[in-house]
Amino acid sequence: MKKNFIINLNQRINLKRCISIPSDFTNQIIRIIKSIPKGKVLTYGFIAKLAGKPRAARQVSWILHSSSKKYNLPWHRVISSSGKISLKSYEDCQYQKNLLEQEGIKVLDEFKVDLDEFLWKINSTENL
């Protein structure tokens, strides 16, 4: 009887969720962000597209927010599709601006980056 109970319990529980193993999508996002070279940026949406889910920019944001410290991600190299730093407070925007400028990225008024100049031109994640 105990054996049947354990098997039935295991069938009802998604063990992957309980253990919190990152999904393939999450791992792909982390790999892409880690690969952004110094002096370049990517947008949330472009990262989602490279990872195979072009409409998942918000998921990229969540992954970046929840995993930056754990995986030592260069979070400051990820910006909005308009080229803007999209943090909430002025102090946080200023901090990200300083990190980008230390890498040679020019940040214009209103915390905006020229994507034509600083967007990382990558078409595929095959060689990452």
pLDDT band for position 9 (cuts 50, 70, 90): low
What pLDDT digit, counting tens, does each position of 74-99 carry?
999 999 999 999 999 999 999 999 99
C-alpha distances in Å from residue 115, one per residue of 30, 46, 70, 84: 21, 12, 28, 9
Q: What is the CATH number of domain 21-118?
A: 1.10.10.10
Whole-number average pLDDT of the chain? 89
- pTM comes to 0.82
d(CA 71, CA 30): 8
Every domain of the chain and the residues it spans: 21-118
